[in-house]
Amino acid sequence: MTETMAGAAPADDIDLPPVRSPTVLGIRRETWPKILMPSTMGFLGLVLWEVLVSVNAVPHYILPGPLLIARTLWTDWGTLSGSLWITLQITGMALTVAVVLGVALSILFSLSKWVELSFFPYAVILQVTPIVSIAPLIIIWVDNTYLSLLICAWIVAFFPILSNTTTGLNSADHNLRNLFELYGATRWQTLRRLRLPAAMPYFLAGLRISGGLALIGAVVAEFVAGSGGVESGLAYRILESGYRLQIPRMFAALIMISMSGIVIFLAMSLITHLALRRWHESAIKREN
């Protein structure tokens, strides 16, 4: 008798990965309608908009047509791109700080029930207080515009990451925890090898929400700062254009904010997919 079992070949078969469906231009065939249908609808909508505006001779300080907006985007790119850069910087920094502090604090929460009991209610208060109502205070208290905007955006982006990661860290399988205990794992080993990986899907779901919220937080803070005459990012450009009745530019800035939001969402979705595609249900497509 050797060390191996007789009949070592397993009785049951492995699930084969689904057969890859044919692709057109590197994109799966069934994905094309998802791209083409909304694009066509969007294009038709723009054409209708342009036609209605020019047929009815709507003045461009009321509603500019898409062509004029596109032209403005091109001509004002110098000013607008500078503002875009500021808004993106604040968003990115706020999200980074939210991730670092959110994850660190949730680890602290998961290690000590007392810390969680003491601090979690305050995190909730921070979350439920509308940012518009505290932004003026922060802008008054903090001299540096950049820093005050950053704090506002951070407050909005922070909570989903904290709350989700805390839930995730506490959601590791009970039997797996017993197994770690059985093999004498240290707290640190259990955290690194069990609780952090188990928290990953939760954290990433929080990150996707926070990415969008960081942008909203940044824009709201810029509005508040802008109404006090402080120059900053894209939201300030919108305010300014509103005062000067430069409505095409207002639309251009609006489009840039929307586009930033979409890009942030896609980036977070991509990160989620890359991190989870090997193991988590949410990232796996099944054919059945």
Residue with Cβ nearer other proteins (85 or 173)? 173
Min. distance of Cβ 193 from other proteins in angstroms? 7
Of residues 201 and 217, the one with the C-beta less far from other proteins: 201
Instruction: Compute the least distance from the CB of residue 282 to other proteins, in Å.
Output: 12
Alpha helix positions (H), the chain: 32-55, 66-75, 77-111, 113-128, 131-141, 145-169, 174-182, 187-190, 196-227, 234-243, 247-276
Minimal distance, residue 7 CB to other proteins, in Å: 7
CB of 4 to other proteins, least distance (A): 6
Residue 11 phi, psi (nearest 5): -75, -30
DSSP 8-state secondary structure symbol assigned to residue 3: S
In DSSP terms, which residues pair with 28 in a beta bridge?
23
Among 176, 191, 216, 255, which residue sits at the site for other proteins (rule: CB under 8 A)?
A: 176
Give helix 66-75 / helix 77-111 axis angle, nearest 10°: 90
Q: Which of 42, 82, 121, 197 binds other proteins (CB under 8 A)?
A: 197
**Stretch of residues binding other proteins (CB under 8 A), selected from 64-72, 132-140, 161-169, 177-185:** 177-185
| Smallest gap from residue 114 Cβ to other proteins (A) | 21
287 binds other proteins, rule: CB under 8 A: no
**Which of 59, 87, 57, 54 is CA-nearest to residue 245?**
59
Residue 19 contacts other proteins per CB under 8 A: no
Q: Is residue 1 within the footprint of other proteins (CB under 8 A)? A: yes
Of the candidate residues 63, 111, 147, 200, the single one contacting other proteins (CB under 8 A): 200
Q: Write the burial class of residue 21 (CB in 10 Å: 0-12 exposed, 13-18 middle, 19+ buried).
A: exposed
Q: Report helix, strand or coil for 25.
A: coil
Among 51, 52, 112, 173, binds other proteins (CB under 8 A): 173
Q: Is 175 left (phi over 0), alpha (psi -120 to 50) or beta?
A: alpha
Binding residues for other proteins, total number by CB under 8 A: 36
Instruction: Kindly state the helix (H) or strand (E) to which residue 230 belongs, with its residue range.
Output: none
| Residues that bind other proteins in the complex, under the rule CB under 8 A | 1, 3-15, 17, 173, 175-176, 178-185, 189, 193-194, 197, 200, 278-281, 284
